C-alpha cells in the first residue's frame, strides 16, 4: 500500500532512481530459492553418479587401509577426508552461489549499495514497529510461510511413507543398493520441492513488485516540487521564454529596416525580403509574421520607408515555404521579379 492516502501518482523516473540508490527494489528471495532448488536437482542428476563413485572409492580406501586403525594417523586421515569431501561439494556450493547472484541480478540488475545497512531511527520506533507488525507485507509473509510449511509437510509425508517400505529392507540388501535408494529419494524430494517452489516464487515476485510500486508512489505536490527542483519553476521558465521571444522579435524588427520590400496579405501575413544584386543568389527572407507580428513588420517598414506590396497568394506562399534566413524558392522567382522590377522602376533604377 501507499504510505500515505494522498500518494496516488506513479513514481517518476527520478523517484525510482532515488529508491534504487537507497536499496529499494522489487526483489523476491523466493525466486533465488526456487532457481537454486531447480539447479541443485539438475546438478545432482548428472553429478551424483560421479560423486557416488568417488565416495565409494574413498570409503573403500580408508576402511580397507590398515593404517587407518592406528590412532596416531587419525589427524591425517580426517584431514584427507575433509579435503576430498570439500572437493566433491565445491561444485554444489559454487553452483548455489552463481545461481543466487544471477537470480538477483536478473530481477534488479547489477547494483551494490550499503545504504540499507545504515542505522535508521524509524526502525527502532515502537509505533512504526507496530504498524509494520499489522501490515499487508507481514500478513502475506505469514500466508506464504504457512503455505510452504504445508507443502513441505505433504511432500515429506508422501516420500517418507514410500521410503519406509524400502528402509525396512535395508538390513537384507547390499550397501550399494541402499545408497542407490537413498539417492533416488533424495533426488525425488529435491525435485518435488523445486517444482512446488516455482508457483510460490512467482506469486511472491508479483507481490513484491506490487508492494514496491505502492511504496514509491508520490503525491501530486511531490511531483510538482520535483519538477521545480529539476526543471525549474514553470513561471520562471515561462518568463524566460517570453523574454526570449521579445528579444527574437526585436532582432527581427531590426532586420526589417534592411529589407527591400515587405509583401503582405494584407492583414494576416507579412514577409520582408532583402536582395543585393551581385551579392545574393536570390532574395532572402529577413522577417516574417502573422497577425500582430505582421502588423509590427508593416509599421517598422513604414517607419523606414520600406515599400509594402499587397499580394495575398505570394505572401502566404512565402510564409509557408520559407524560414527566416532562407532564400526564396525558384518557383516564386517570377512573381518576386515583377515586384522588384516595379520597385526599381519607381526608384529610377534599371532591373
SS3 of 149-161? HHHHHHHHHHHHH
With contact defined as beta carbons under 8 Å apart, do 327 and 284 qualify?
yes
Q: What pLDDT, on the 0 to 100 scale, is given for residue 335?
A: 84
According to the model, what pLDDT value does residue 120 have? 56
Sign of the Cα pseudo-torsion (83, 85, 87, 91, in order): negative
**Grid coordinates given for 34:** 526456487
108 vs 213 pLDDT, higher one: 213
Among the residue ranges 61-75, 200-214, 224-238, 316-330, the one predicted with the least confidence is 61-75
Lowest model confidence (mean pLDDT) among 137-151, 225-239, 254-268: 225-239
Say if residue 121's pLDDT is above 70.
no
pLDDT surpasses 50 at 178? yes
Mean pLDDT of 17-21: 79
Distance between CA atoms of residues 192 and 181, nearest Å: 16
- Write down the pLDDT at residue 230: 67
Q: How confident is the model at residue 60 (pLDDT cuts 50, 70, 90)?
A: confident
Least reliable range by pLDDT among 22-36, 74-88, 103-117, 149-163:
103-117
> Which pLDDT value is given to residue 148?
78
Q: How confident is the model at residue 351 (pLDDT cuts 50, 70, 90)?
A: very low
Mean pLDDT of the chain, nearest integer: 77
Task: State pTM to two decimals.
Answer: 0.51
Domains and CATH numbers, the chain: 25-215 (no CATH), 244-347 (3.40.1690.10)
pLDDT mean over 67-85? 71
Residue 176 has pLDDT above 70, yes or no: no
Burial bucket for residue 147 (CB in 10 Å: 0-12, 13-18, 19+) = middle
And the C-alpha cell for 111? 547494483
| pLDDT tier at 133, thresholds 50, 70, 90 | low
> What pLDDT, on the 0 to 100 scale, is given for residue 134?
55
Q: Can you tell me whether residue 119 is helix, strand or coil?
A: coil
For residues 55-73, give the mean pLDDT: 67
- Is residue 187 over pLDDT 70? yes
Beta carbons of 311 and 263 less than 8 angstroms apart? yes
Write the CB contacts of 163 (distance below 8 Å, at least 6 apart in sequence). Answer: 181, 185
Res. 116: pLDDT tops 60: no
d(CA 190, CA 306): 93
pLDDT mean over 218-229: 78
DSSP strand pairing (308-310 vs 284-290): unpaired
Amino acid at each position: 500500500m501507499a504510505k500515505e492516502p494522498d500518494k496516488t501518482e506513479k513514481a517518476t523516473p527520478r523517484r525510482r532512481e532515488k529508491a534504487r540508490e537507497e536499496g529499494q527494489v522489487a526483489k523476491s528471495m523466493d525466486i533465488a530459492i526456487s532457481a537454486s532448488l531447480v539447479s541443485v536437482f539438475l546438478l545432482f542428476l548428472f553429478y551424483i553418479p560421479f560423486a557416488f563413485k568417488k565416495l565409494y572409492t574413498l570409503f573403500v580406501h580408508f576402511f580397507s587401509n590398515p593404517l587407518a586403525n592406528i590412532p596416531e594417523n587419525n589427524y591425517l586421515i580426517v584431514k584427507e577426508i575433509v579435503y576430498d569431501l570439500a572437493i566433491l561439494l565445491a561444485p554444489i556450493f559454487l553452483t548455489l552461489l552463481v545461481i543466487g547472484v544471477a537470480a538477483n541480478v536478473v530481477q534488479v540488475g547489477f547494483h551494490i549499495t550499503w545504504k540499507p545497512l545504515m542505522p535508521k531511527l524509524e526502525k527502532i520506533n515502537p509505533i512504526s514497529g507496530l504498524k509494520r507488525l499489522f501490515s499487508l507485507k507481514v500478513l502475506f509473509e505469514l500466508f506464504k510461510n504457512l503455505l510452504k510449511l504445508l507443502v513441505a509437510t505433504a511432500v515429506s509425508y508422501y516420500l517418507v511413507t514410500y521410503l519406509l517400505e524400502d528402509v525396512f529392507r535395508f538390513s537384507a540388501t547390499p550397501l550399494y543398493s541402499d545408497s542407490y535408494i537413498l539417492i533416488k529419494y533424495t533426488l525425488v524430494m529435491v525435485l518435488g520441492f523445486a517444482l512446488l517452489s516455482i508457483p510460490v516464487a512467482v506469486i511472491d515476485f508479483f507481490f513484491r513488485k506490487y508492494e514496491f510500486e505502492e511504496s514509491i508512489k508520490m503525491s501530486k505536490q511531490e511531483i510538482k516540487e520535483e519538477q521545480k527542483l529539476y526543471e525549474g519553476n514553470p513561471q520562471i521558465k515561462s518568463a524566460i521564454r517570453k523574454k526570449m521571444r521579445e528579444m527574437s522579435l526585436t532582432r527581427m524588427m531590426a532586420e526589417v529596416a534592411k529589407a527591400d520590400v515587405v509583401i503582405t496579405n494584407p492583414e494576416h501575413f507579412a514577409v520582408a525580403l532583402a536582395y543585393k544584386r551581385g551579392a545574393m543568389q536570390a532574395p532572402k527572407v529577413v522577417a516574417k509574421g502573422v497577425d500582430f507580428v505582421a502588423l509590427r513588420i508593416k509599421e517598422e517598414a513604414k517607419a523606414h520607408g520600406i515599400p509594402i506590396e499587397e499580394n495575398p497568394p505570394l505572401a502566404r506562399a512565402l510564409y509557408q515555404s520559407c524560414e527566416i534566413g532562407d532564400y526564396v524558392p525558384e518557383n516564386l522567382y517570377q512573381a518576386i521579379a515583377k515586384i522588384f522590377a516595379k520597385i526599381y522602376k519607381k526608384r529610377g533604377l534599371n532591373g
